[in-house]
Amino acid sequence: MPHIYAVGDVAGYWQLAHTAFREGEVAAECIAGHAATVEGAVPRCIYTDPEIAGVGLTEAQAREQHGDRVVTGQFPFQAIARAAMFGDKTGFVKTIHETTYGELLGVVVVGISATEIVNAGVLAIDAESTIETVGDSIAAHPTLAEGLKEAALVALG
């Protein structure tokens, strides 16, 4: 029914609090008569130790869709100065892209602040960034988020 709105688990999209929050924003916009939809990359976060986060396609999903045209790059937290400053060098950042256009398809982060770092991947995927754009970006130093740029550079060889 066009006058009934639902958010959260009953809406049938990602059953995550941050998705429900966006669904609530969209419902309010629609009720106010504005056109709005829920779309875009949704970060998947697991609040464990170490944290795990991903956005976009997994490597397996990317290979299913793009076959051999998938390249990944992985960079360990062990090589990131900020991880050493935190005293926790467990983890890595992984990029997944396809080689036809170089489009970034997915990002996986495992380690300290993974659920924070993945948001850079959300923006990059929503903007349809290429792996070259991510690799050519300037990352603040020293930060854990440098791992995203470095993983892109690994993927680029």
User: Is 63 exposed, middle or buried, given 0-12, 13-18 or 19+ CB atoms closer than 10 A?
Assistant: middle
Q: Is residue 44 within a helix (H) or strand (E), and if so which, with residue range?
A: strand 44-46
Asked whether the beta carbons of 99 and 132 are under 8 A apart, the reply is: no
141 in active site = yes
Q: How many CB atoms lie within 10 A of CB 138?
A: 6
Asked whether the beta carbons of 114 and 52 are under 8 A apart, the reply is: yes
Asked whether the beta carbons of 25 and 7 are under 8 A apart, the reply is: no
Q: Which of 18, 66, 97, 141 is catalytic?
A: 141
Asked whether the beta carbons of 139 and 80 are under 8 A apart, the reply is: no
Q: Cis peptide before 43, with omega less than 30 degrees from 0?
A: no
Q: Which residues are catalytic?
A: 141
